Amino acid sequence: METREKCFVLIGALDAEIDEYLRHLQLAQVRQWKEFTFYEGFLSGKMVVVCKSGVGKVFAAMITQKLIDVYNPAAVIFTGVAGSISPEIEVGDIVVASDCIQHDLNASELGFSRGSVPYTDYRFLPTDARLRELALSAPCLHIVHEGRILTGDHFLTQSEMENHRYLREELEGDAVEMEGAAAGQVCTVNEIPYLLIRTISDKADEKAAHSFTEMLPQIAGNSFSIVSHVLKML
Protein backbone atom coordinates (compact mmCIF):
# COMPACT_ATOMS: atom_id res chain seq x y z
CA MET A 1 0.00 0.00 0.00
CA GLU A 2 2.26 2.71 -1.31
CA THR A 3 0.88 6.02 -0.03
CA ARG A 4 1.57 8.68 2.55
CA GLU A 5 -2.01 8.54 3.83
CA LYS A 6 -2.28 6.51 6.99
CA CYS A 7 -4.46 3.42 6.98
CA PHE A 8 -6.72 1.91 9.61
CA VAL A 9 -6.05 -1.57 10.96
CA LEU A 10 -9.02 -3.91 11.55
CA ILE A 11 -8.33 -7.10 13.52
CA GLY A 12 -10.45 -10.10 14.50
CA ALA A 13 -9.29 -13.29 16.16
CA LEU A 14 -11.17 -15.72 13.90
CA ASP A 15 -12.05 -16.02 10.21
CA ALA A 16 -15.74 -15.51 11.03
CA GLU A 17 -14.90 -12.26 12.79
CA ILE A 18 -13.33 -10.67 9.70
CA ASP A 19 -15.39 -12.32 6.93
CA GLU A 20 -17.93 -9.48 6.70
CA TYR A 21 -15.11 -6.94 6.33
CA LEU A 22 -13.42 -8.96 3.61
CA ARG A 23 -16.71 -9.26 1.72
CA HIS A 24 -16.95 -5.47 1.53
CA LEU A 25 -13.24 -4.79 1.07
CA GLN A 26 -12.09 -3.31 -2.22
CA LEU A 27 -9.01 -5.46 -2.24
CA ALA A 28 -5.80 -3.90 -3.44
CA GLN A 29 -3.11 -6.30 -2.23
CA VAL A 30 -2.54 -9.34 -0.05
CA ARG A 31 0.63 -9.69 2.00
CA GLN A 32 1.76 -12.73 3.90
CA TRP A 33 3.82 -12.71 7.09
CA LYS A 34 4.50 -16.19 8.43
CA GLU A 35 1.04 -17.75 8.88
CA PHE A 36 -0.78 -14.40 8.92
CA THR A 37 -2.43 -12.67 5.97
CA PHE A 38 -2.73 -8.90 5.68
CA TYR A 39 -5.57 -7.82 3.38
CA GLU A 40 -4.89 -4.29 2.15
CA GLY A 41 -7.64 -2.31 0.47
CA PHE A 42 -10.40 0.25 0.85
CA LEU A 43 -13.46 0.16 3.07
CA SER A 44 -15.96 3.00 3.49
CA GLY A 45 -13.62 5.28 1.57
CA LYS A 46 -10.64 4.66 3.84
CA MET A 47 -7.49 2.64 3.37
CA VAL A 48 -7.55 -0.34 5.69
CA VAL A 49 -5.62 -3.47 6.52
CA VAL A 50 -7.72 -6.42 7.71
CA CYS A 51 -6.09 -9.31 9.56
CA LYS A 52 -6.99 -12.40 11.56
CA SER A 53 -4.82 -12.50 14.66
CA GLY A 54 -5.66 -15.92 16.06
CA VAL A 55 -7.06 -16.61 19.52
CA GLY A 56 -5.58 -15.42 22.81
CA LYS A 57 -3.56 -12.58 24.25
CA VAL A 58 -0.18 -13.60 22.83
CA PHE A 59 -1.36 -13.71 19.22
CA ALA A 60 -3.37 -10.50 19.68
CA ALA A 61 -0.41 -8.59 21.09
CA MET A 62 2.05 -9.99 18.56
CA ILE A 63 -0.02 -9.23 15.46
CA THR A 64 -1.03 -5.78 16.74
CA GLN A 65 2.60 -4.83 17.22
CA LYS A 66 3.55 -6.24 13.82
CA LEU A 67 0.82 -4.26 12.08
CA ILE A 68 1.85 -1.09 13.90
CA ASP A 69 5.48 -1.63 12.88
CA VAL A 70 4.60 -2.27 9.23
CA TYR A 71 1.83 0.28 8.66
CA ASN A 72 2.03 2.91 11.43
CA PRO A 73 -1.79 3.12 11.29
CA ALA A 74 -4.00 6.06 12.18
CA ALA A 75 -5.94 3.73 14.49
CA VAL A 76 -6.49 0.07 15.36
CA ILE A 77 -10.00 -1.41 15.65
CA PHE A 78 -10.32 -4.85 17.22
CA THR A 79 -13.65 -6.53 16.64
CA GLY A 80 -15.37 -9.88 17.05
CA VAL A 81 -17.48 -11.66 19.65
CA ALA A 82 -17.55 -11.90 23.45
CA GLY A 83 -19.51 -13.43 26.30
CA SER A 84 -21.86 -11.26 28.35
CA ILE A 85 -21.53 -11.19 32.14
CA SER A 86 -24.06 -8.38 32.53
CA PRO A 87 -27.75 -9.22 32.97
CA GLU A 88 -28.61 -6.23 30.77
CA ILE A 89 -26.59 -7.38 27.75
CA GLU A 90 -28.06 -10.13 25.58
CA VAL A 91 -26.85 -12.36 22.76
CA GLY A 92 -26.67 -10.29 19.58
CA ASP A 93 -26.13 -7.00 21.41
CA ILE A 94 -22.98 -5.01 20.75
CA VAL A 95 -20.57 -3.64 23.36
CA VAL A 96 -18.37 -0.67 22.52
CA ALA A 97 -15.61 -0.72 25.10
CA SER A 98 -15.07 2.33 27.27
CA ASP A 99 -11.97 0.55 28.50
CA CYS A 100 -10.57 -2.95 28.93
CA ILE A 101 -8.41 -4.88 31.36
CA GLN A 102 -6.63 -8.23 31.64
CA HIS A 103 -8.76 -10.01 34.24
CA ASP A 104 -6.35 -12.96 34.52
CA LEU A 105 -3.32 -10.81 35.34
CA ASN A 106 -3.09 -11.00 39.13
CA ALA A 107 -0.08 -10.01 41.21
CA SER A 108 -2.15 -9.10 44.26
CA GLU A 109 0.21 -11.00 46.55
CA LEU A 110 2.82 -8.39 45.62
CA GLY A 111 0.43 -5.57 46.50
CA PHE A 112 -0.88 -4.79 43.02
CA SER A 113 -4.56 -4.49 42.16
CA ARG A 114 -6.01 -7.27 40.04
CA GLY A 115 -5.45 -6.51 36.38
CA SER A 116 -2.54 -4.15 37.01
CA VAL A 117 0.62 -4.74 35.04
CA PRO A 118 3.16 -4.86 37.89
CA TYR A 119 5.50 -1.89 38.24
CA THR A 120 3.61 0.15 35.63
CA ASP A 121 0.56 2.41 35.54
CA TYR A 122 -1.28 0.10 33.13
CA ARG A 123 -4.50 -1.41 34.41
CA PHE A 124 -7.75 -0.13 32.87
CA LEU A 125 -6.92 0.78 29.28
CA PRO A 126 -9.28 3.46 27.86
CA THR A 127 -10.29 3.31 24.23
CA ASP A 128 -9.94 6.42 22.09
CA ALA A 129 -12.64 8.94 23.00
CA ARG A 130 -13.27 10.16 19.44
CA LEU A 131 -13.49 6.65 17.98
CA ARG A 132 -15.79 5.59 20.81
CA GLU A 133 -18.04 8.62 20.30
CA LEU A 134 -18.39 7.84 16.60
CA ALA A 135 -19.13 4.17 17.30
CA LEU A 136 -21.84 4.98 19.83
CA SER A 137 -23.49 7.45 17.44
CA ALA A 138 -23.63 4.97 14.55
CA PRO A 139 -27.03 3.93 13.18
CA CYS A 140 -27.41 0.26 13.99
CA LEU A 141 -30.09 -2.43 13.88
CA HIS A 142 -28.78 -3.99 17.08
CA ILE A 143 -28.74 -2.79 20.69
CA VAL A 144 -25.45 -1.06 21.45
CA HIS A 145 -23.98 -0.66 24.94
CA GLU A 146 -20.94 1.18 26.21
CA GLY A 147 -19.14 -0.98 28.74
CA ARG A 148 -16.00 -2.49 30.18
CA ILE A 149 -14.53 -5.50 28.41
CA LEU A 150 -12.42 -8.01 30.32
CA THR A 151 -9.72 -10.05 28.61
CA GLY A 152 -8.17 -13.34 29.67
CA ASP A 153 -6.86 -16.59 28.22
CA HIS A 154 -9.86 -18.53 29.50
CA PHE A 155 -13.22 -19.35 27.86
CA LEU A 156 -15.52 -18.82 30.82
CA THR A 157 -18.83 -20.53 31.54
CA GLN A 158 -21.35 -20.01 34.33
CA SER A 159 -20.14 -23.14 36.15
CA GLU A 160 -16.91 -21.25 36.83
CA MET A 161 -18.44 -17.87 37.59
CA GLU A 162 -18.76 -18.50 41.33
CA ASN A 163 -14.97 -18.55 41.45
CA HIS A 164 -14.85 -15.51 39.18
CA ARG A 165 -17.28 -13.19 40.98
CA TYR A 166 -14.56 -10.54 40.89
CA LEU A 167 -15.28 -10.07 37.17
CA ARG A 168 -18.47 -8.20 38.06
CA GLU A 169 -17.96 -7.23 41.70
CA GLU A 170 -14.37 -6.01 41.63
CA LEU A 171 -13.63 -5.25 37.97
CA GLU A 172 -17.21 -4.24 37.09
CA GLY A 173 -16.99 -5.95 33.71
CA ASP A 174 -19.75 -6.22 31.14
CA ALA A 175 -18.27 -8.77 28.72
CA VAL A 176 -15.38 -11.22 28.59
CA GLU A 177 -13.18 -12.24 25.67
CA MET A 178 -9.61 -13.34 24.97
CA GLU A 179 -7.77 -10.63 23.00
CA GLY A 180 -8.93 -7.03 23.45
CA ALA A 181 -6.86 -5.76 26.37
CA ALA A 182 -3.69 -7.33 24.95
CA ALA A 183 -4.13 -5.39 21.71
CA GLY A 184 -5.19 -2.36 23.74
CA GLN A 185 -2.03 -2.38 25.83
CA VAL A 186 0.14 -2.59 22.72
CA CYS A 187 -1.70 0.35 21.17
CA THR A 188 -1.50 2.34 24.40
CA VAL A 189 2.26 1.87 24.69
CA ASN A 190 2.69 2.80 21.01
CA GLU A 191 0.34 5.81 21.39
CA ILE A 192 -1.93 4.52 18.62
CA PRO A 193 -5.68 5.26 19.01
CA TYR A 194 -7.67 2.06 19.36
CA LEU A 195 -11.26 0.92 19.59
CA LEU A 196 -12.66 -2.38 20.83
CA ILE A 197 -16.10 -3.53 19.65
CA ARG A 198 -17.64 -6.90 20.53
CA THR A 199 -20.89 -8.62 19.59
CA ILE A 200 -22.27 -10.90 22.29
CA SER A 201 -22.25 -14.55 21.19
CA ASP A 202 -23.11 -16.14 24.55
CA LYS A 203 -23.97 -15.36 28.16
CA ALA A 204 -20.93 -17.11 29.69
CA ASP A 205 -23.37 -19.66 31.12
CA GLU A 206 -23.69 -23.43 30.98
CA LYS A 207 -24.76 -23.13 27.32
CA ALA A 208 -21.85 -20.86 26.38
CA ALA A 209 -19.88 -23.34 24.28
CA HIS A 210 -22.94 -24.35 22.25
CA SER A 211 -24.13 -20.77 21.89
CA PHE A 212 -20.69 -19.58 20.79
CA THR A 213 -20.41 -22.29 18.13
CA GLU A 214 -23.96 -21.81 16.88
CA MET A 215 -24.07 -18.02 16.92
CA LEU A 216 -20.57 -17.13 15.75
CA PRO A 217 -21.25 -17.38 11.99
CA GLN A 218 -24.55 -15.51 12.36
CA ILE A 219 -23.56 -12.54 14.49
CA ALA A 220 -19.81 -12.06 14.14
CA GLY A 221 -20.47 -9.36 11.55
CA ASN A 222 -23.06 -7.46 13.62
CA SER A 223 -20.56 -4.72 14.37
CA PHE A 224 -19.75 -4.13 10.69
CA SER A 225 -22.17 -1.21 10.33
CA ILE A 226 -20.63 0.49 13.36
CA VAL A 227 -17.06 0.10 12.12
CA SER A 228 -18.14 1.25 8.65
CA HIS A 229 -19.73 4.37 10.15
CA VAL A 230 -16.60 5.14 12.18
CA LEU A 231 -14.44 4.90 9.06
CA LYS A 232 -16.79 7.10 7.03
CA MET A 233 -16.81 9.81 9.68
CA LEU A 234 -13.05 9.97 10.23
Set 40, 93, 177, 202: catalytic member? 202
- Estimate the share of the chain in helix, then strand, then coil, as percent rounded to the nearest 5: 35, 30, 35
- From the list 12, 21, 67, the residue with the least C-alpha distance to 44 is 21
Set 17, 20, 93, 177: catalytic member? 17
The helix/strand/coil state of 20 is helix
Looking at the DSSP bridge assignments, the partners of residue 191 are none
146 is catalytic: no
State the Cα–Cα distance between residues 21 and 230, nearest whole angstrom.
14
- HSE toward the beta carbon, residue 166, CA cutoff 13 A: 12
| Run of H or E residues at 227 | helix 224-233
202 is catalytic: yes
Q: CA angle, 169 as apex, 167 and 174 as ends, to 5°?
A: 50
Active-site annotation, residues:
17, 202
